[in-house]
């Protein structure tokens, strides 16, 4: 079982079926907040939906295609983060994350994104980490900016969110850049 301790208050655990109830409750109690930027929220209506998602994550991890973790802060599950995709041929990991509304503003996701970036370069020996966020999602965009990622461009109409398209800003960090920053 993958568990990655970030600091005394914060760790990541590979998602498994035991997390289904926590994951569902996190989504359900933060539904309107999450729905602003995440297109899958309406597809999570019951615990079984979370179980199906987790089973897909477990399969993808076993196939070495992604890694989804539950974020634990002071002993409580507070969100998820991981590599939505690991592109081995191009040595790139694509980080994705979300955090329950009650836990924002504590620096949690910045520390998580830093730890995932470190892990991608040190353990997986990848060359690049990519983080994408909707142009208007300033909280999500502030994370790669705070960590010194380079804004590489904008993908127009990259995602359909319920009734409209949103553009995505692409941030990238190369292994050698990260080493110089750290």
Return the pLDDT at 70.
98
Q: Which 3-state string (H, E, C) describes 110-176?
A: HHHHHHHHHHHHHCCCCCEEEEEEECCCHHHHHHHHHCCCEEEEEEEEEEEECCEEEEEEEEEEEHH
Q: Which CATH superfamily is domain 3-181 in?
A: Gcn5-related N-acetyltransferase (GNAT) (3.40.630.30)
User: Over pLDDT 90: what percentage of the chain?
Assistant: 97
Cβ neighbours of residue 1 under 8 Å, at least 6 residues apart?
Answer: 13, 14, 16
Residue 30 — pLDDT band, cuts 50, 70, 90?
very high
Indicate the pLDDT class of residue 182, thresholds 50, 70 and 90.
confident
Q: Find the mean pLDDT for residues 105-121.
A: 97
Confidence of residue 181 (pLDDT cuts 50, 70, 90): confident
Q: Where are the domains of the chain?
A: 3-181
- 165 has a pLDDT exceeding 80: yes
């Amino acid at each position: 079982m993958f568990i990655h301790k970030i600091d005394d208050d914060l760790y990541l655990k590979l998602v498994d079926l035991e997390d289904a109830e926590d994951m569902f409750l996190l989504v359900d109690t933060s539904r309107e907040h999450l729905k602003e930027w995440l297109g899958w929220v309406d597809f999570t209506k019951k615990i079984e939906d979370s179980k199906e998602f987790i089973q897909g994550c477990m399969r993808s991890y076993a196939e070495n295609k992604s890694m989804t973790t539950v974020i634990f802060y002071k002993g409580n599950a507070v969100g998820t983060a991981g590599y939505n995709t690991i592109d081995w041929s191009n040595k790139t990991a694509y980080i994705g994350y979300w955090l329950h509304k009650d836990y924002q503003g504590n620096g949690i996701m910045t520390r998580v994104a830093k730890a995932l970036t470190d892990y991608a370069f040190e353990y997986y020996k990848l060359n690049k980490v990519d983080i994408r966020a909707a142009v208007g999602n300033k909280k999500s965009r502030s994370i790669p900016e705070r960590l010194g990622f380079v804004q590489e461009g904008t993908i127009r109409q990259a995602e359909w969110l319920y009734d409209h398209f949103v553009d995505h800003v692409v941030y990238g960090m190369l292994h050698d850049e990260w080493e110089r920053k750290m």
